[in-house]
Structure 1
Amino acid sequence: MAVKKISIKVSYKLLGIYLIVTAIPIILVGAYLNYSIRDIVLNNTLSEVETSVDKMEMRLNTIFNRVTNTSDLLYINNDLKTFLTTDYDSLLELYNAYNRYPVFDEFLKYYDEIEDIHFFMNRDRITNSYFIHADSTVKEKQWYNEAVSKNGKISWVFLQNHWTELHYLALTRAIYSTSNELLGVLVIYVAPDMLKTVVEGEPYNTFITLDKELIVYHKNPQHIGKHPDFFQQSNENGNNYLVDRQYEGEEVKVNVQEIIPEKSLDNTFQISTIIPVEEIMQKPNAIFTRGFFIVTGALTVSVILIGIFIRSFYRRIQQLRNTMFQVAKGNFQIEQSIKGSDEISQVYHDLKTTSKSVQKIIDEVYIHKIKEEKWKRKQKEMDFKMLASQINPHFLYNTLETIRMKALMNKDPEVAKIIKMLSKMMRSALERTDRPVPIEEELQLVEYYLEIQQVRFGDKLSYDICMEESVMAYKIFPLLIQPIVENAIIHGLENREGKGFVQITLSSENQYLIIQVTDNGVGIDKNKLTQIKERMNDENYQSDGNRIGLHNVQQRIKLYYGDSFGLEIESIYGLGTTMTLKLPKRNH
């Protein structure tokens, strides 16, 4: 038998299904979760930064407003203008005038936002800590010229303190007299400590820039006064925006909040927060790494386990396949079994059951064939016994007819009747075949035999045949009833004193045809009855008589109809015997 070559093994298919259904989705879900976690962490960080920036903006505006309001008060202060426009005759009067003007001290005392106040006077006067003469060097400064050019408008600059030489964020504003004469430039320095409070406590690197050009406050003093490089690449507009930049060699996101101080026309401030993406992603990356190793380990273990399962599954499938191949070749002897209690073991069990059933059918067919051959042999033996003297049946019939006619000529009708019955009986028996005959024909043969026996026994023998009308439609195997009737007369009635009686009853019971032959003869004792039953059911028993005995009848029934049918004997010693034939109902 040719076996079709397998293109893809079941084990490979199962592994592929596992990878498609389990491994690949887990990897995709893991990648999606990693991306989602990173995105959530980044968004949460940006949200926190925006909240912090809003608070910093409020604090920074408070500082700017304080400084701006101070400049407004000084800008409209008439005492200051009077002091600046008055000509003093002596230095003493000038010093006394300085001392009579304590406004700057008061502002410095009450406003922490102000680090220092300077007024660069246009007139050439002796200076003190607050009032400074704007000489040619000062007037050449860009911040001074810018303040003068704005005609009293506010400017924010980053400049050096005249006395300390330290750089500060400062507000500059030109002040004019009532006659519109330039009196000088007011400079209010913002306290760095107050700027520090704006960004203090922020988790990320945050600094303040002026006009995107100079860093006016940074946690690291080395960065103050320097230009932030990433603004050179920025073209974004708006109050708040997020940009991706390189900062100190690292990829970062920069959150920029634009602030326009009150009454400022040209200047803007920026609160810039450096968000180190890689740093904030360390925790999600660590979680992802741990999850990756856990998932990889789980997948590895699961692949090993599924591999073990597939290997076991494939072995069992292969065993089932090999067994089916053996069954297909005709080997139905399946001794081993497949371990387990799943569908494969059930299929194997069903295959084993089917193989046994097929083997049983084959055996039954084989046994039936043997029995059929044995039955034919028995039938031939019986025919041989019956036809041992049949050299020329027609010669025998003619001879018997001659004897009958001679008896009639001698006026002996009884002998003629016997010869006539014997001739009919022999003709009927000799013309029998190995095919079933109607019950009516079988009973006619029995009646011929009984009429002959009545001539022999006279009034000592009587008989009765009783049957249901429905049984006449059935056929039975020939020469089954006559041998039983013959056995009843010879063994039951010959040795009986008094009248003998034989009753033949035919009836139907479910799927069976029941034929009973009952006599009131001498009966059979228990021991002999047991021997008869044993011999009757012994296939190897050989009868030494010339008649068709009970053993022959029983074996013919078993061979032709099967073991479910046969002859049964019941007898009571001294009372009689009943022999029952149980045959199938057949009309063919």
Structure 2
Amino acid sequence: MKLIHRIKQNLHLDDIRLRNKFFMMYILCVFIPIILTNVIFYNLMSSNVQEQRMVDIKLSLDQVHLELERMIEAAVSVSWVFYTDYTLYSMLDAHYSNPADFVEAYDNYMRRVINSYTPVYTSVQNIKIYVDNPMVLHSGGVAFLSNKVRDTDWYKTLDLRTPSEAIFVKAYKEDSISSGRTEQFKDTFNIIRVMDYFDSLGTWDKVLKIELKTEAFDVILGNLNIPGSVYLVDPDGIIQYTTNRNINWREEQLAIDSLHTGSHTVVFEGEHYDMLPLQGWNIVAHVPESQIMHEAPEVRQYVLWIAITNILLATIIIVIISRSVTKRLGFLLRQMKRVKNGNFDIVNNRDALDEIGQVTSEFNRMTLQISSLINDVYVADIKEKNMELEHRYAQLNALQSQINPHFLFNALETIRMRSMMKNETETAKIIHNMAKIFRSSLTWKRDKVKLKEEVDFIVCFLEIQKYRFADRLDYSIELDPEAERCLVPKMIYLPFVENACIHGVEKVKQGGKVTISLKLVEDKLHFHIHDNGAGMNEEQVQRIYSYLEETKDLGERIGMQNVIYRLKLFYEDQFTFTVQSEQGVGTSIHLIIPVNH
């Protein structure tokens, strides 16, 4: 949970560029949904196509089932006509004195009856009645019921029949060979039944055999809507007919369950026939999966084109809209940066009515207002600031002039010349040091000097004070060589040296010492001065600190308050000033200012 919370804290949409946001929105809201939708749509369509194809095959199998049933029913109907024909029974059971009588009876009735049904029922190839009446001649539609016929498989199936039942059987077709031998092979399907409807008319056995056309089975079972192999299976599961050319169904007895279908074959099985004579028979179809899914590539191509069209259309629309947003916002952002750099040109784009257009209009209005304010207010304020700055410089020079009156320099030069004339060398040296201090104060054009020059002024001042106090004053100066060229405000340290000598050491009868240290530390100039003089109480120290808070004009006040005021003018709040003092022990002052080389 902590990791998730941390990720949420670090992940802000506001930190993502607008172009990337549009790209994320496109990927998450357009591309991925379109892909997922089309994948789901493809799976659904493929499943529907497969299911519909299986339904179509099942319907075609049912149609084959029904057509075969109709064909057999038609043949059974024909058999019922012969089975119930009293005249036919009379003719077959009659006693003929000579063959001519049978031929006459055959021509008058039998030929007409048989020939009237064979052309009408296209599925019927031949109609033949077997009778053991020796006086009936072998002729078209009539044959002698010999022992050889009784030994055939199809005849033996009559033993399994029920009374008046017609039987559907695959029988041997009899062809005569020139040698007089008869060869039998499986070829035809037949409807056979014992003609015993009028048993009282005679004692001769009669069997009706209606031979069906094999081509009719080819037409029915070879349904083009079933793209596989179709099998006609008897009640024992033996294949009696198939459209599979790899199986010799005429001469072999193969069980449907013995066929190796494989994992990529779908088995369709129709309902078992419950009508006579097809009771127990069934139609089975083996269809490869590739035939069921042969329309899948078309579906896939169709879905793919839909996906490509949707993606391209959505991409074009989003690119146009995103460019309308990002391009104008980018131009507006660049214009804002130019305004930041002082270029106040307005945006000359068309006045659009959307939010970006409104922002652009407000930006132009703001730019014109800023330009007007700069011209009307800022320029005037600059003039005022320049006047104030000149006033500050004048005040600074006035403060300096309070310490360094010009006429003193001329007077000191006169006194030094007189001392030299009288050979008063020591006095002349002191006066020379004093003159150097005053001469430097006359340089009005420079408000900053090198630290080395400032130290020289301090040395001059200390030499004068040492001449004044004699052995009561001693001093030492430690100057960092790297800090000699740093620029500092002119005479910024001298008032501290003056206070250390006059207000500190002056009250000490002997052993007065002033120690000065100037060091450069990390681009900061550290000034430290210590004296072992009279020191100050807490109230005096706090009064010095109060100078840091005063901002009013000093007028004619000089000294330490003058220095602090000048430091504030130069460095504002970028300097550090600390005072440590104890009465009877001495005073330490630490001043840190930024380096200005």
Structure-2-length-normalised TM-score = 0.49
TM-score under structure 1 length normalisation? 0.49
